[in-house]
Amino acid sequence: MKIIVCLKQITDPEISTSDFRIDPEKLEVVRGNAELVTNIFCENALETALQLRERSGGSITVLSFGGESAEDTLRKALAMKADEAMLVINDGPPHPDPLTVAQVLARAIRKIGNYDLIMVGRESGDWGTGQTGGLLAEELNLPCINFVDQIEKRGTGLLVKRQTGEGWEKFNAHPPLVLTITNSELNVPRIPKKRDLLAAARQFVTRWSFDDLGVNAEKINHGESYYELVELKTAEHIPTCDFVSGKTLDEKVEEFARRIVEVTRAL
């Protein structure tokens, strides 16, 4: 089983709201002193792939499309014991539209070739479009299952379990296919060992440019002809919390209960 896991490097979405700034001209988030991290769902995808390989064998190729710094994301993945790493350097705009991302990744995946499973995170913590998996499936003409958290090999096929809004569903599926991975208690990403991080720093990362993949950079720059970000603003809210008062805990809880009932009675 050959697995390709796509990884996205993003500005740490856990940055506190008070440190969160937007550049209204560039329509970009100001990175400030926020870390660059691997998107958590991408790490859940890698963890799911690593566990599948541990049980059923195979190989894992990690693939990222991004700036130079995305190499760090790939090296961390190598330290987590991915077998090989590919970086597609983004020569275009910093935040390409979802279709462009899928088209570039699809080119790289075809170049890698012979894949059985393509795994991506369900969405990213920055733009969170939740489209990469589905669009990749269409670009590669493959079936797709979203929100997967467990995969088991069953004969020549796979038993795939995914989360739904109401519970879960199990699928019979036959590779090749695309899976988008969500988090569960079973796929918490492992922490790479220091020794493995050091070793990964010396491992080879294949680098591809748009030219290497036959991607038309000019076409990518025209992504905004169909998908244009026209405004980016911080979310607003007006703080108005009344903290219940009272001399004793009993008085405070009494007041709190009264406020709750006030709302529920109105229904």
Binders of another protein among residues 13 to 32 (CB under 8 A) are 13-14, 17, 20, 22, 29
**Rounded to whole angstroms, how far apart are CA atoms 51 and 193?**
17
Binding residue for another protein (CB under 8 A) from 172, 193, 201, 217? 172
**Is the CB of 21 or the CB of 111 nearer to another protein?**
21
Neighbouring C-beta atoms of residue 40, cutoff 10 Å: 19
116: left (phi over 0), alpha (psi -120 to 50) or beta: alpha
**Is the CB of 29 or the CB of 70 nearer to another protein?**
29
In the complex, the smallest distance separating the C-beta of residue 211 from another protein, rounded to whole angstroms, is: 25
In the complex, the smallest distance separating the C-beta of residue 134 from another protein, rounded to whole angstroms, is: 4
Surface-to-core class of residue 129, CB atoms within 10 Å of its CB (0-12 exposed, 13-18 middle, 19+ buried): middle
**Is the CB of 35 or the CB of 254 nearer to another protein?**
254
The interface with another protein within residues 176-235 (CB under 8 A) comprises: 177, 182-185, 188, 225-235
Show the tokens assigned to 244: 């219940």
The interface with another protein within residues 121-160 (CB under 8 A) comprises: 122-123, 125-131, 133-135, 137-139, 142-147, 160
The interface with another protein within residues 74-103 (CB under 8 A) comprises: 97-99
Binding window for another protein (CB under 8 A); candidates: 56-64, 71-79, 193-201, 258-266: 258-266
**Is the CB of 113 or the CB of 239 nearer to another protein?**
239
Surface-to-core class of residue 69, CB atoms within 10 Å of its CB (0-12 exposed, 13-18 middle, 19+ buried): exposed
b/e per residue, 73-111, with b = 16+ CB within 10 A? Answer: bbbbbbbbbbebbbbbbbebeebbbbbbbbbbbbbbbee
Please give the span between the terminal C-alpha atoms of the chain, in angstroms, as a whole number: 55
The kind and range of the H/E element at 148 are strand 144-154
**Is the CB of 204 or the CB of 243 nearer to another protein?**
243
Binding residue for another protein (CB under 8 A) from 33, 69, 114, 240? 240
In the complex, the smallest distance separating the C-beta of residue 123 from another protein, rounded to whole angstroms, is: 7
The interface with another protein within residues 33-62 (CB under 8 A) comprises: 41
In the complex, the smallest distance separating the C-beta of residue 199 from another protein, rounded to whole angstroms, is: 29
